[in-house]
Amino acid sequence: MFSENLKRLRKERGFTQESLAIQLHVVRQTVSKWEKGLSVPDAVMLQRLAEVLEVSVSELLGAEIPAGESERNEIAELLSKINEQLAIRNRRGRLVLRIVLIVLAVLIVLPILSAALFGLHAEENQIDGSVRWLCTLDEYIYEYQVDYNARGKIVSGAMGWNVEAPDAPNADNYSTVEELEAALEDYFQSRGGTVERVENADEPLHAQTGFNRTVIG
């Protein structure tokens, strides 16, 4: 193959890539690309390269090229085929590289995302405090209690329902402490009742349902 032949012949003639590049009036990187199979010279440069290395174009390309007027055309056609093969190989190399990078990205990013999601889930369910509301309406006391996380989202809480007030706010229908409190104030105060908030309520509700009704007096 041209790249292998070039590297072998250059060393046999005692040229470095830099010294050969000077003879050809090109930069060293150009010679390096030829030897790595990343590109090939055009027909004119190929003939100049053969002259500097004191070999035939056929020997340099590793292919038989008939002598005569059609020699340059034969060289150009052969170089075109080599370029096509290099292009195919480079496309395959880039495709393999992209696949490898994608796989590496998945292997690196997936654990990070999993850890982040797990941490977020744990944070969402970590109790930061509790709050209780004592709501009065007519002759009854209605009691709500919820646990919330650091962002004020309700983690667990009371079922806001009672036979005496079936349309009262249900704690399960609200995601934050602020939303539930606003609903309680709107419901009870608009009906002449009261809402009292107690932070960090430690004592459990009077009923397992989480919504207690007690007759006043």
- pLDDT for 28-77, tens place per residue? 999 998 888 888 888 788 888 888 988 888 888 876 655 554 555 566 56
b or e along 173-190 (b: 16 or more beta carbons within 10 Å of the residue's beta carbon)? Answer: ebeebeebbebbbebbee
How high does pLDDT run on average in the chain? 77
- Kindly state whether residues 6 and 86 are assigned to the same domain: yes
Predicted local distance difference test score (pLDDT) of residue 120: 61
9 and 91 belong to one structural domain: yes
Which tops the pLDDT comparison, 23 or 76? 23
Q: Where among 51, 75, 97 does a domain terminate?
A: 97
Same domain? For 91 and 135 the reply is no
Report the CATH number at residue 77: 1.10.260.40
Domain boundary among 51, 78, 97: 97
The model's confidence at residue 182, banded by pLDDT at 50, 70 and 90, is: very high
Q: Are residues 8 and 71 in the same domain?
A: yes
The answer to whether residues 133 and 93 belong to one domain is no
Taking residues 152-173, report their average pLDDT: 72
Domain end residue (candidates: 53, 80, 97): 97
pLDDT of 13 strictly over 80: yes
Q: Whole-prediction pTM value?
A: 0.41
Decide if 106 is inside a domain.
Answer: no
Q: Is 104 domain-assigned?
A: no
**Which residue would you say has higher pLDDT here, 25 or 215?**
25
Cβ-count burial of 52 within 10 angstroms (0-12 exposed, 13-18 middle, 19+ buried)? Answer: middle
Q: How far apart, in whole angstroms, are the C-alpha atoms of residue 63 and residue 46?
A: 13
| 202 assigned to some structural domain | yes
Q: Is residue 90 part of a domain?
A: yes
pLDDT score, position 212: 44
Give the chain's domain count: 2
Is the torsion defined by CA of 204, 208, 213, 215 positive or negative? negative
Segments forming the whole domain that contains residue 183: 129-215
Of residues 207 and 138, more confidence is placed in: 138
> pLDDT above 70 covers what percent of the chain?
70
Domain assignment present for residue 144? The answer is: yes
Comparing CA positions, the residue from 143, 146, 149 lying closest to residue 130 is: 146
Q: Residue 79: pLDDT above 70?
A: no
Q: Judge if 16 and 73 occupy the same domain.
A: yes
Encode pLDDT of 115-146 as tens digits.
Answer: 666 666 667 778 888 888 888 888 888 888 88
